[in-house]
Structure 1
Amino acid sequence: MRIAVIDYGSGNLASAARGLELAATRLGIAAIVAITDRPDEIAAADRIVLPGQGAFADCAAGLAARPGLADSMHRRVDAGAPFLGICVGMQLMAARGLEHRITPGFGWIAGDIAPMRAEGLRLPHMGWNELHFTPGAHPLLDGLNPGDHAYFVHSYALDRIASPPVIATTDYGGPVAAMVATGNRAGTQFHVEKSQEVGLTILGNFLRWSPA
């Protein structure tokens, strides 16, 4: 299995790659995890992971600045390769980002990435928080229990939490989209690579995931 971790100058690339390698080893999956910005490697990948941190607009600009990178990623995902976006990588799946300015996203899920409303609470939303979901709702949640904790760092979030495509939420001054999935595309608002056993479980599920 060839896994491409997209390198566009943002995100915890090495941590995400190590998490994927560990999850593969635990499951006995022979995997090659490559941190790459090469369109040919992305085109040959069996699975694609897009980490992200920082501002939506900066991450979108970083993708656009690498010749052929975004096009090769979109073509491979359109052809059926499972995709996992992490933090801003998930946010880029939305229609638009509203951080600093209006920035187009991939348009894979409806809604904007808008400032969080968490009256009386500090922003960014930083630290461990519970996941709320219906058991069996999606293969990426297999092996997890409602109330399990994941690690969040963000001040912006998806402004639509209707299900689907939201498959898990958390609460921070109200419900917040924590995981989304549509077709072969999925994302986590939290950092799976920092979420210890919960994160490794999700990464393992992603490696075994066979979207219909």
Structure 2
Amino acid sequence: MSTPQRPEPGARVALVDSGGTNIASVAHAIERLGSHASLTADPDEILSADRVILPGVGAAAAGMARLRELGLVEVLREVTAPVLGVCLGMQLLFEHSEEDGGVDLLGFLPGRVRRIPAVPGLRVPHMGWNILDLHRTQAPLLAGLSSGQRAYFVHSYVAELGEATLATTTHGVEFSAVVGDGRVWGAQFHPEKSADVGARLLANFLSPSIQETP
């Protein structure tokens, strides 16, 4: 198991104002780790932050429309600090979603987002605690975590497995639960609701080692 990473003291975290309802709880989770989190749509504040988090709950089309309305799509492309997408925010990092008839996303990571397939007896949305299966334990975002631990999910769409997949979960289909490539990272689950697992993932994101390539 990788050694847990220590958060970078006093890291300035920009929470992109993507209109999600979980933003306040994400901010509180960051503050508990000793860093300062601010909800912002200001390009200068986002570009000067030590870390950028793209949260989100809801539909991909609405999320992308808000980012475009605020002029943040190009701003996010210019960010050089590590970026973490959470829940819908993670899905927005990919190229395309089949939600709402098809939506082009940010394209930071290769791959597509699809609806959880209909299976008799399978509840959609996927809501509740589920097991993580770590595939790339050397990734700094996963330091101190292990397969078999549980995280809290709320979603109906999933990112397919691909080059950026670091950990998976299964609900009807196996899907990407944690992703990463270079400075871009994502968690399909809600770290702010995932107890010690979520706190560890956020602490890893705030650590200096997150600058390393997974």
Q: TM above 0.5, one fold?
A: yes
SS at match of 1:21: helix
Aligned to 2:43: 39
What is the correspondence of 1:1-212 to structure 2 with a 5 Å cutoff?
1-23=11-33, 25=34, 31-66=35-70, 68-76=71-79, 80-120=80-120, 121-134=122-135, 136-158=137-159, 160-162=160-162, 164-208=163-207, 209-212=210-213
Asked if 1 retains the 8 angstrom alpha-carbon contact of 2:132 and 2:147, the reply is yes
**Offset from partner CA, 1:2-28 (integer Å, 9 cap, x none):** 1100013224111111111112x3xxx
Q: What 5-or-longer segments of structure 2 have no aligned partner?
A: 1-10
Asked if 1 retains the 8 angstrom alpha-carbon contact of 2:109 and 2:164, the reply is yes
**Offset from partner CA, 1:120-178 (integer Å, 9 cap, x none):** 201001100000014633111111121100001111111x313x310000011131110
- Of 128-137 and 198-207, deviating more is 128-137
The CA distance in 2 between the partners of 1:196 and 1:205, in whole Å, is 14
**CA shift at 1:114, angstroms?**
1.0
**Offset from partner CA, 1:19-63 (integer Å, 9 cap, x none):** 11112x3xxxxx321111111111211110000111111111111
The CA distance in 1 between the partners of 2:56 and 2:106, in whole Å, is 14
The CA distance in 1 between the partners of 2:126 and 2:65, in whole Å, is 24
Asked if 2 retains the 8 angstrom alpha-carbon contact of 1:177 and 1:189, the reply is yes
Asked if 1 retains the 8 angstrom alpha-carbon contact of 2:73 and 2:106, the reply is no
Percent identity, aligned pairs only?
A: 41
**Please, what is the CA RMSD of the aligned residues?**
1.4
Equivalent position amino acid for 1:179 in 2: V
Asked if 2 retains the 8 angstrom alpha-carbon contact of 1:157 and 1:176, the reply is yes
Q: Structure 1 length as normaliser, TM-score?
A: 0.89
The runs of at least 4 consecutive aligned structure 1 residues that moved more than 4 Å come to none
- Of 101-110 and 122-131, deviating more is 101-110
